[in-house]
Chain A
Amino acid sequence: MFKPLKLTLIAAGVLAFAVAAQAQQKKPYGYGKPATPEQIAGWNIDARGDDGEGLPAGKGDVARGTEVFAEQCAVCHGTFGEGEGRYPKLVGGNGTLTADRPEPTVGSYWPFAVTLWDYINRAMPMPTPHTLSADDVYALTAYVLNLNNLVPDDFVADKTSLPKVKMPNHDNFSWQDPRPDTAAKPCMTKCIDPKDIKIISTAEGTDLTPRTTGPLDTMQPK
């Protein structure tokens, strides 16, 4: 009698374990709460670069953009987007992308106009982000595009007009990573004649390196 009982107990144990395991696998877990339409509306701020999906109602023109820019943006970006100090230049640089010192700006580099709306809306102005109305973000977008001669002075930016703005550098982007683009061979001995190895640049004496001991360095370029 003892033996069968033991087997039964084991069998029951296995069964219980199986049930427990099954319970663990039950999905969805159901943690958290459903996102309400109101919650989603509050955070769903993105506007998609290539087709403008997500751009809200509202509009803004170049004239209004000029005012808002002077108040909110010029301190860093300069009155005409020329950039103060090391803050980003927003204008110009056309034809410089193959130059020795390229100047990538909204006009010379950015592939999508809607991205400008999305970025101003999500991140600008840096010290007080998310304080601009949708209309003012449209107006600023219109102003910066106008500074770059990409839209006329009477341009009104809204969710229909903005995705249609053709950016000059749009076609110069590829969205497929071509790497690996080098094919170095792992040579082990006599790979180069040591006499042919030349030092072509050195950081010695460049005076660009902050100190790496003691307190933080505050050096500026000399």
Chain B
Amino acid sequence: MKRDNGRANGALPTRGLSRRKLFRLGSAAAAGALLATAKAGAEEAAPPADNPWSQTMGAGVVDRPYGVPAEGEAGVIRRNVPWLTAGTESSVSFSPLQELNGIITPNGLFFERYHAGRTDVTRDEHRLMIHGLVERPIVLTMDDILRFPSVSRIHFIECPANGGMEWRAAQLNSLQFTHGMISCAEWTGVKLSTLLEEVGLKKNAKWALVEGADGAHMTRSLPLDKCLDDCLIVYGQNGEALRPEQGYPLRLIVPGWEGNVSIKWLRRIKIGDKPWYTREETSKYTDLMPNGKSRGFTWLIDAKSVVTFPCPEKPLRHGPGSYEIRGLAWTGNGKVREVHVSTDGGANWQKAQLHEPVLSKALTRFSMPWQWDGKPALIESRVIDETGYVQPTIGQLRKIRGSNSIYHNNSIQTWQIKQDGSVFDVQTA
């Protein structure tokens, strides 16, 4: 008897079926119908009936030598906004934050950002060259890099354009698309400082140029202070080798700074005395202010938080009653100190509970119990980081930066809850 699993021969569990119906309903605009269908499906699968998967034998070991998620999770995937970019090779995809638990992003769901497409590098032919203002320029193979003392750290990477489409107005009715250009992983590799000590920095060394092996040879300038502080050259991501999407076999991690500087497929580090003013730090990744001036080298990711439940993809399905508001907070400035949650559009706030572990420059989970009275509500979260910095509103940001700066929108997100439990992305004043 050979069967892939209980769901492959048409004996789909009723819950799976109802879930597919939900998929077809598509946008959260159909949230009312969505609530009703979910309820009916749950009742059909209830005891005393025995389930089909209980009446058969499952697949054996190594049926899937490299595991995959359950079939019912097929919709939990990275997604893109096709109209946003000219093609998919210089583009971005978004992590499904609405479906994730904990603080670690599974490797297959880590958001993508390419400038010349995913680069498939042959590990044994990959080299890292370190040269410039150093005593001993070197070329390292991956095997060489593995010999250096190793460290593991949990850090988020956020594209500074995360939320960039919301500068002008609430546009995307989806947590995945308003906030999904962030992911968090445990990274394993070598401290960049270890490698820089190895090559010996010359006295006038002040900056590093970091460059990828992709078709765009993605390049950024980094001040040496940051390189020596906490940057990592990593080959491990959540316990396995980096995924090609995240820079296999070697990438840079610049903790707490805009994701663009964490160069993937890292092939070269050149030490110099000045920055290089590459295209990615002049034409792009600079912030245009309302007076026509632009800010460059704005690397830091300021503190930000977002409620991940409820959200447009995850409406309130059970009518008035008890809910747990859940969310994520992070800061490039160290640790999250506090998160506050409001259910009345920012008139009143309550302290949320932070979930351990609370790590520096990593995603932090928070939650707060909530008794919903069934009336319209405006849900928001606000983070304060360990420096005392308070996450601003979009109005406060616009007052200073206007709405054309694309990057670094770390404003408070407002979710509008309607009476039927559906949720919409809104902005308030």
A43 touches B268 (CB 8 A): yes
What's the Cα separation between A116 and B283 when bound, in Å? Answer: 10
Interface residues of chain A: helix, strand, loop or mixed (majority): loop
| Interface contact B270-A46, CB-CB below 8 Å | yes
CB-contacts of B201-256 with A (<8 A): 209, 211, 215-217, 219
**Distance of A156 from chain B, by nearest CB (Å):** 23
Q: Could you say which of B151-159, B172-180, B366-374 contacts chain A?
A: B172-180
**Is A4 interfacial (CB 8 A cutoff)?**
no
Assess A97 versus B346: contact at CB under 8 Å? Given A31-B140, A40-B137, A115-B278. no
Judge if B279 is at the interface, Cβ distance under 8 Å.
Answer: yes
Q: Pick the interface stretch among B45-53, B291-299, B354-362.
A: B291-299
Q: With an 8 A cutoff between CB atoms, is B89 at the interface? A: yes
What B residues does A43 contact at CB under 8 A? 129, 267-268
A210 touches B279 (CB 8 A): no
How distant is A100 from chain B, measured CB to nearest CB, in Å? 8
Contact B277 A48 (CB under 8 A): yes
Determine whether the beta carbon of B209 is less than 8 Å from that of A104.
no
B121-179 with Cβ < 8 A to chain A: 129-131, 136-141, 144-145, 147-148, 169-174, 176-177
* Min CB–CB distance A210 → chain B (angstroms): 6
Residues of B within 8 A of A209 (CB): 27, 171-174, 177, 312
Whether A123 pairs with B115 at a CB distance below 8 angstroms is yes
Residues of A within 8 A of B169 (CB): 200-201
Interface residue stretch chosen among B8-16, B59-67, B77-85, B317-325: B77-85
Q: Within the complex, which residue of A27, A76, A104, A112 is in contact with B277, where a contact is CB–CB below 8 Å? A: A112
User: How many chain B residues touch A (Cβ–Cβ < 8 Å)?
Assistant: 112
Taking the complex as formed, is B32 at the interface, i.e. its CB lies under 8 A from any CB of chain A?
no
Interface pair B426/A111, CB less than 8 Å apart? no
Residue of A nearest to B397 (CB): A182
Are B378 and A197 within 8 A (Cβ)? Answer: yes
* A102-B288, A122-B217 known; A115-B426 Cβ under 8 A: no
Task: Tell me if B282 and A29 are in contact (CB < 8 A).
Answer: no
Check A35/B131 contact, CB under 8 A, given A28-B136, A204-B173, A213-B22.
Answer: yes
Are B86's CB and A87's CB within 8 A?
yes
Q: How many residue-residue contacts, CB under 8 A, span A and B?
A: 286
**Residues 160 to 191 of chain A near chain B (Cβ within 8 Å):** 169, 172-191
> A78: CB under 8 A from chain B?
no
Known contacts A40-B137, A210-B177, A214-B26; is-contact A202 B426 (Cβ 8 Å): yes
Which stretch, B101-109, B181-189, B382-390, touches the partner chain A?
B382-390
Other-chain residue from B139, B197, B291, B384 in contact with A35 (beta carbon distance below 8 A): B139
Give chain B residues whose Cβ lies under 8 Å from the Cβ of A214. Answer: 23-24, 26, 75
Q: How far is the CB of A130 from chain B (nearest CB, A)?
A: 8
Identity of the chain A residue whose Cβ is nearest the Cβ of B276 in the assembled complex: A48
B396 at the A/B interface (Cβ < 8 Å)? yes
Provided the pairs A206-B173, A210-B81 are in contact, do residues A181 and B288 lie with their beta carbons within 8 angstroms? no
Q: Would you call A34 and B382 a contact (CB within 8 A)?
A: no
B349 partner, pick from A85, A110, A191, beta carbons under 8 A: A191
Please, which residue of chain A has its CB at the minimum distance from the CB of B412? A184
A164 to B408, CA, bound (A): 33
Partner of A122, one of B139, B176, B219: B219
Alpha-carbon distance A180/B267, docked complex (angstroms): 33
Tell me the residues in window 98-112 of chain A with beta carbons closer than 8 Å to chain B beta carbons.
Answer: 98, 102, 104, 106, 109-112
User: Is B40 interfacial (CB 8 A cutoff)?
Assistant: no
Query: How distant is the Cα of A209 from the Cα of B404 in the complex, in angstroms?
Result: 21
Q: A126 and B90: CB pair below 8 A? A: yes
Q: Are A212 and B79 in contact (CB under 8 A)?
A: yes
Please report the C-alpha to C-alpha distance between residue A33 and residue B293 in the assembled complex, in whole angstroms: 46
Question: Is B18 close to A, CB under 8 A?
Answer: no
Asked whether any CB of chain B lies closer than 8 Å to the CB of A193, the reply is yes
Indicate whether A201 sits within 8 Å of B347 (C-beta atoms), given known contacts A32-B141, A46-B219.
no
Q: Would you give the 0/1 interface string for B287-307, flagging 1 where the beta carbon is closer than 8 Å to chain A?
A: 010111111111110100000
Report the minimum CB–CB distance from A118 to chain B (whole Å): 6
B215 with A129: CB separation less than 8 A: yes
Q: Which of B77, B136, B348, B424 contacts A190 (CB 8 A)?
A: B348
Determine whether A39 belongs to the interface, using a CB cutoff of 8 Å to chain B: yes
15 A-B pairs (CB sep. < 8 Å): A35-B138, A43-B267, A43-B268, A48-B277, A50-B274, A98-B290, A174-B294, A179-B298, A179-B302, A186-B390, A198-B429, A205-B29, A211-B27, A213-B23, A216-B80
Interface residues of A (CB under 8 A from B): 27-29, 31-35, 39-40, 43-46, 48-51, 76, 85-87, 97-98, 102, 104, 106, 109-112, 115-116, 118-119, 122-123, 126, 129-130, 169, 172-194, 197-206, 208-214, 216-221
Nearest first, the 9 closest Cβ-Cβ pairs linking A and B are A49-B277, A214-B23, A201-B169, A119-B279, A203-B173, A35-B137, A86-B86, A203-B425, A32-B140
